[in-house]
Amino acid sequence: MSTTYLSTKPYKGARDFFPEDMRIRNYIFSVWRSICERYGFEEYDFPIVENLEVFASKSGEEIVSTQLFSFADKGERNVALRPELTPSTVRMIADRYNELPKPIKWFMIGNNWRFEKPQKGRGREFYQLEGNIFGVEGVEADFEIFSLIVAIMKEFGANETMYRLYYSDRRLISLLLDEVLKLTQEQQLSARRIMDKRKKVTAEEFVEMLAAVGITGKAADTIEAFMNSTFSELPTLLPEKLLAENQGYQDVLQLEQLLIDFDLMKYCQFDPGIIRGFDYSDGLVYEVFDTNPENKRSMFGGERFDRLINVFGKFDMAATGFAMGDITLLEFLKGWNLLPELPTTTRVLVTRFPDDNPAIFTYAVKIAQQLRENGISVSQYPTKDKLEKQLKYAEKLGIPFVVIAGEGELEYNTVKLKELKKRAEQTVALSELANYFSKGKL
Amino acid sequence: MSTTYLSTKPYKGARDFFPEDMRIRNYIFSVWRSICERYGFEEYDFPIVENLEVFASKSGEEIVSTQLFSFADKGERNVALRPELTPSTVRMIADRYNELPKPIKWFMIGNNWRFEKPQKGRGREFYQLEGNIFGVEGVEADFEIFSLIVAIMKEFGANETMYRLYYSDRRLISLLLDEVLKLTQEQQLSARRIMDKRKKVTAEEFVEMLAAVGITGKAADTIEAFMNSTFSELPTLLPEKLLAENQGYQDVLQLEQLLIDFDLMKYCQFDPGIIRGFDYSDGLVYEVFDTNPENKRSMFGGERFDRLINVFGKFDMAATGFAMGDITLLEFLKGWNLLPELPTTTRVLVTRFPDDNPAIFTYAVKIAQQLRENGISVSQYPTKDKLEKQLKYAEKLGIPFVVIAGEGELEYNTVKLKELKKRAEQTVALSELANYFSKGKL
């Protein structure tokens, strides 16, 4: 017989969640869920396996060609694990385009898969919160999304010094590259890709990258100036008449007024360097950066994607929304020391008295049942180990209270109740025990 | 330009969850989670993609050869989507075999994938609650699992007339087939498979199936008699000395005493026809059946799997637990009319008064913010549609309250509050509005 054992590790780049990890995940998910619901968003979901074509059409090229977990099912249908949540969300909206009351405010929490080289803060799987508003053309929807993002960050304990929400509009970039600089379509595409990398390179390298795709001289200078421009400086850089006619410019102007009116401007800032890689972005784009000097980077983002739905039919459905990943968020929370202590949900361990009298075990089960019937989370110790071992077990798991009942307690219908941290012990009538927990005395 | 549109449907046999479906799923998951926590179980999770070998070794043959969603990743590693939750659970236990405090009481809720022909009550994906106790050899652990199952069913509103938990022990079947009838290993395997199908065929068909694998005469008669036996009749059928030495018999005897002591026997019944298909079952086996005459079938089950862990190393870790699927459970709940009404979590729609005065929209946003700061779930209507349309929107989504504020309300810092079902309307000071909801006046 072979003694080759299987590996106990999960698939490379993916995570096991032991109970202490799961408590962190549940904490993050519960904040996401509760704040989205508070903003009137409804939860939805869809399968992690999707017909390949849904991603092949619109997710960024890099994702589809090199990062997709794709395969043929046993019926030779080409499928893929979702690498992101937006395309299938839009598929669902298209499926009930006529019936769904608009505006549609939806959120979901789901796992995505990308074949990447695992590294710090990036795995092959990650969870995302996806929140979108469909059916609203005006910036009121984007403002609502910004408000939601700030509310979520606030619930995690983050203030305006810890992160910044940068925004721009793709239509401003089209104005620059197409209407003003009159670059070819190919040059425009290259310019966008290079602009997306601006933050990671020096000004010199940036100009060299532009030169490599044939953008030089005044055009390159204008792009570099644009990248360093504030929103109020734009009229000095771009023709005012074109700006006035540009919906992107008008939308940012109106959005900023709402942000000022509701004191959200302190979290937000216009940044022409925000491009977003996804091929389906077509209006406002935004990205949230950690301001922690040791972890300065993009955490998550969002955008307008009004036309993505048209791969599913001839529809008219404005859309804006964001997706926030759990791995980057967790690094942010750890970096700013915002993660709370998350103890086990079990409140009480009912021990098993190491005695052969079956009535004593029966009494222990009765105690546990009574506490559970009162909504208290109780673990019952099943075997006749030494009490010392059972107490250590509770300590290791972080269970705060221990109940002990032997011959004497059984006789008088009482229990010994120990609070482990305080090393305090008292005798309590069984009939009073549940009250001790539900009335918050302990 | 092509006008071929992509399908808006999900992958065949898998489910989209629109908000009304998601509320049902969230209800089921929240009952699962809260009762497992109340019984002192801790939540964990692992990736949906797993190294293929984890399933190839121990999941039943049918699952691996025909039902697995398996493929090679872009690095040529053979992987699979999990078809069940137990093997990877055991992998995690093995990974921290020494560190984890025992007993280990764990639960998880996860999505599984099997390539099956989609039919009523069976899709290619389904969710399961998996709950296990590791490290306890005695039936106290199985009793705890039975108690947990009954508590979950009770929380869903199910009583003893609606379902039945049948149990048996594989060691009793070994006693019959191996020690008493002395069948060959091959015949024993066939006999188990045929016994597993006993409930679906007539007695005549059953005997024919046994004959087809060479089991005839007294052996076939004894198997058929065994299948129809109660637990107390076993000593008339099998040698008492062998029974007394059989750990399976002793365990069932002890388990029944606990079930009687705690009034759980009314939900439970010994049934020698419970076999369980998984290759890793090696002791007590149990299955829960819906008693609904229109839906009489196995809903879910569990078993002892003390030796499964040994594919990961030389370990010693007793294990027992169950897995409950969401699709069959939902059919059960619908069949017995146990599913509660599950309205949207949004309590209030703050309308946008169709007026061009920007101060009126500013006032509406302020109202929504104030309610949200008080923990009330509020949807804000973003566009200047007619009020009638906005009220219909609230009605369609099932949002119970609507707030309206125009010029007059703005001037006096009040709002009009409408309760849609009662068609009642009142004017409330903005400063009092949140109290109306939090104090439960409405």
What's the confidence (pLDDT) of residue B1?
A: 46
Q: What is the CATH number of the domain that holds A399?
A: 3.40.50.800
Exposure b/e, A77-87, CB count within 10 A at least 16 = b: eebbbbbbbbb
Which residues in A lie closer than 8 A to residue B357 (C-beta atoms)? none
Is residue B340 assigned to a domain? no
Q: Which residues contact residue B306 at a Cβ distance below 8 angstroms, ignoring those fewer than 6 apart?
A: B137, B282, B283, B317, B318, B319
What's the confidence (pLDDT) of residue A1?
A: 45
What's the confidence (pLDDT) of residue B148?
A: 98
Structure tokens, B256: 């029944």
Locate the chain B residue with the closest alpha carbon to A113.
B49
- Where a domain ends, among B335, B359, B376? B335
For residues B292 and B397, state if they share a domain. Answer: no
Inter-chain touch A8–B91, beta carbons under 8 Å: yes
For residues A26 and A134, state if they share a domain. Answer: yes
Structure tokens, A144: 């609502």
Is residue B8 assigned to a domain? no
- Long-range pairs, A72-75, Cβ under 8 A, ≥24: A72/B71, A73/B69, A73/B115, A74/B66, A74/B69, A74/B115, A75/B115
The one-letter amino acid at B93 = I
Residue A11 in contact with residue B82, Cβ under 8 Å? no
For residues A258 and A356, state if they share a domain. Answer: no
pLDDT tens digits, B414-427: 999 999 998 889 99
Please name the member of B6, B311, B396 whose beta carbon is closest to the beta carbon of A5: B311
Which residues in B lie closer than 8 A to residue A16 (C-beta atoms)? 44-47, 92, 95
**Which strand (E) or helix (H) includes residue A169?**
strand A163-169
How far is the alpha carbon of B106 from chain A, nearest alpha carbon, in Å?
8
Residue A255, CB half-sphere, CA atoms under 13 Å: how many? 28
> Which neighbouring-strand residues pair with A125?
A113
For residues A295 and A265, state if they share a domain. Answer: yes
Residue A68 in contact with residue A47, Cβ under 8 Å? no
**CA triple B410-B414-B416, angle to 5 deg:** 105
Q: Rounded to the nearest 5°, which phi and psi values hold at B121?
A: 75, 5
pLDDT tens digits, B233-286: 999 999 999 999 999 999 999 999 999 999 999 999 999 989 886 666 679 999
Q: Which residues contact residue B181 at a Cβ distance below 8 angstroms, ignoring those fewer than 6 apart?
A: B219, B222, B223
Please name the member of B115, B379, B397 whose beta carbon is closest to the beta carbon of A74: B115
Which residues in B lie closer than 8 A to residue A261 (C-beta atoms)? 362, 365
Which residues in B lie closer than 8 A to residue A95 (C-beta atoms)? 8-9, 16
Work out how many CB contacts closer than 8 A connect A with B. Answer: 262
Is residue B131 assigned to a domain? yes
Region B149-165: mean pLDDT is 98
Q: Is the dihedral of CA B418, B369, A131, A133 positive or negative?
A: positive
Is residue B6 assigned to a domain? no
What's the confidence (pLDDT) of residue A110?
A: 98
Inter-chain touch B40–A101, beta carbons under 8 Å: no
Number of domains making up chain A:
2
Those residues of chain A that have pLDDT short of 70 are 1-3, 57-62, 277-281, 439-442
> Which neighbouring-strand residues pair with A320?
A133, A304
Collapsed DSSP state (helix, strand, coil) of residue A433 = helix
Inter-chain touch B46–A16, beta carbons under 8 Å: yes
Exposure b/e, A381-399, CB count within 10 A at least 16 = b: bbbbbebeebbebbeebeb
Which residues in A lie closer than 8 A to residue B37 (C-beta atoms)? 345-346, 377
Q: Is A263 left (phi over 0), alpha (psi -120 to 50) or beta?
A: left
d(C-alpha A59, C-alpha A53), whole Å: 10
Is residue A25 assigned to a domain? yes
Across chain B, mean pLDDT equals 93
Instruction: Read off the pLDDT band of B380 (50, 70, 90).
Output: very high
What's the confidence (pLDDT) of residue B293?
A: 87
Tokens 């968020």 belong to which residue? A329
Locate the chain B residue with the closest alpha carbon to A123.
B47
- Name the residue among B29, B85, B28, B25 with its Cα closest to residue B54: B85
What's the confidence (pLDDT) of residue B282?
A: 79
Structure tokens, A304: 């307008």
Please name the member of A11, A92, A136 whose beta carbon is closest to the beta carbon of B382: A136
For residues B432 and B325, state if they share a domain. Answer: no
For residues B433 and B393, state if they share a domain. Answer: yes
Locate the chain A residue with the closest alpha carbon to B79.
A11
How far is the alpha carbon of A184 from chain B, nearest alpha carbon, in Å?
21
> Would you mind telling me the total number of residues written for chain B in this entry?
442
Is residue A71 assigned to a domain? yes
Residue B180 in contact with residue B239, Cβ under 8 Å? yes
Structure tokens, A49: 């396996």
**Which strand (E) or helix (H) includes residue B299?**
strand B298-304
For residues B434 and B406, state if they share a domain. Answer: yes
Inter-chain touch A22–B39, beta carbons under 8 Å: no
For residues B325 and B391, state if they share a domain. Answer: no
d(C-alpha B431, C-alpha B337), whole Å: 43
Residue B110 in contact with residue B232, Cβ under 8 Å? no
Residue A59 in contact with residue A278, Cβ under 8 Å? yes
Please name the member of B6, B39, B81 whose beta carbon is closest to the beta carbon of A312: B6
- Name the residue among A434, A399, A427, A398 with its Cα closest to residue A413: A427
B362-to-A269, B130, B352 alpha-carbon distances in Å? 21, 49, 10
> Which neighbouring-strand residues pair with A429?
A414
> Which neighbouring-strand residues pair with B401?
B348, B419
Residue of A380, A385, A438 to mutate for B, most B C-beta atoms under 10 A: A380
Residue A149 in contact with residue A41, Cβ under 8 Å? no
Inter-chain touch B95–A14, beta carbons under 8 Å: no
Collapsed DSSP state (helix, strand, coil) of residue A165 = strand
Tokens 């099943």 belong to which residue? A382
Collapsed DSSP state (helix, strand, coil) of residue A140 = helix
Please name the member of B9, B151, B375 whose beta carbon is closest to the beta carbon of A38: B375
Give every strand in the sheet of A78-81, ordered side by side.
A49-51, A78-81, A70-72
Residue B18 in contact with residue A44, Cβ under 8 Å? yes
Which residues in A lie closer than 8 A to residue B91 (C-beta atoms)? 6, 8, 10
Distance, first Cα to last Cα, chain A: 56
Structure tokens, A410: 């059984």
Which residues in B lie closer than 8 A to residue A7 (C-beta atoms)? 51, 53, 312
d(C-alpha B362, C-alpha A280), whole Å: 32
Q: What is the CATH number of the domain that holds A279?
A: 3.30.930.10
What's the confidence (pLDDT) of residue B61?
A: 65
Structure tokens, A309: 């739905």
- Name the residue among B348, B441, B361, B340 with its Cα closest to residue B407: B361
What's the confidence (pLDDT) of residue B278?
A: 60
For residues A378 and A302, state if they share a domain. Answer: no
Residue A415 in contact with residue A404, Cβ under 8 Å? yes
Which residues in A lie closer than 8 A to residue B44 (C-beta atoms)? 16-19, 21-22
Is residue B341 assigned to a domain? no
Tokens 């007026």 belong to which residue? B355
Rg (CA), chain A: 28
What's the confidence (pLDDT) of residue B65?
A: 77
Inter-chain touch B49–A69, beta carbons under 8 Å: yes
Q: Which residues contact residue B203 at a Cβ distance below 8 angstroms, ignoring those fewer than 6 apart?
A: B224
How far is the alpha carbon of A75 from chain B, nearest alpha carbon, in Å?
9
Inter-chain touch A383–B144, beta carbons under 8 Å: no
Q: At what angle are helices B185-196 and B203-212 packed, to 10 degrees?
A: 160
Residues spanned by the domain of A150? 19-185+219-335
Is residue B10 assigned to a domain? no
Say yes or no to pLDDT of B15 above 80.
Answer: yes
Give every strand in the sheet of B163-169, ordered side by side.
B42-43, B104-113, B125-134, B319-325, B298-304, B284-290, B163-169, B268-270
d(C-alpha B293, C-alpha A308), whole Å: 48
d(C-alpha B38, C-alpha A373), whole Å: 9
The one-letter amino acid at A48 = I
- Where a domain ends, among B335, B366, B392? B335
Which residues in A lie closer than 8 A to residue B14 (C-beta atoms)? 47, 49
d(C-alpha A391, C-alpha A437), whole Å: 19
- Name the residue among B362, B338, B172 with its Cα closest to residue B252: B172
Inter-chain touch B25–A5, beta carbons under 8 Å: no
Locate the chain B residue with the closest alpha carbon to A263.
B366
How far is the alpha carbon of B389 from chain A, nearest alpha carbon, in Å?
10
Q: Is the dihedral of CA B380, B383, B387, B391 positive or negative?
A: negative
Inter-chain touch B43–A66, beta carbons under 8 Å: no
Q: Is A52 left (phi over 0), alpha (psi -120 to 50) or beta?
A: alpha
How far is the alpha carbon of B121 from chain A, nearest alpha carbon, in Å?
17
B342-to-A38, A320, B156, B178 alpha-carbon distances in Å? 17, 28, 14, 53
d(C-alpha B191, C-alpha B196), whole Å: 8
- DSSP code at position A400: -
- Where a domain ends, among B335, B362, B387? B335
d(C-alpha B401, C-alpha B347), whole Å: 6
Q: Rounded to the nearest 5°, which phi and psi values hold at A212?
A: -65, -20
pLDDT tens digits, A299-347: 999 999 988 899 999 998 999 999 999 999 999 999 999 999 999 999 9
Residue of A3, A8, A113 to mutate for B, most B C-beta atoms under 10 A: A8
The residue among B397 and B66 whose pLDDT is bigger is: B397
Count Cβ atoms within 10 A of the Cβ of residue B370 and give its class: 0-12 exposed, 13-18 middle, 19 or more buried: middle
Please name the member of A15, A42, A49 whose beta carbon is closest to the beta carbon of B14: A49
The one-letter amino acid at B47 = P
For residues A249 and A308, state if they share a domain. Answer: yes
> Would you mind telling me the total number of residues written for chain A in this entry?
442
For residues B206 and B353, state if they share a domain. Answer: no
**Which strand (E) or helix (H) includes residue B55?**
helix B53-58
Please name the member of B14, B18, B399 whose beta carbon is closest to the beta carbon of A96: B18
For residues A151 and A255, state if they share a domain. Answer: yes
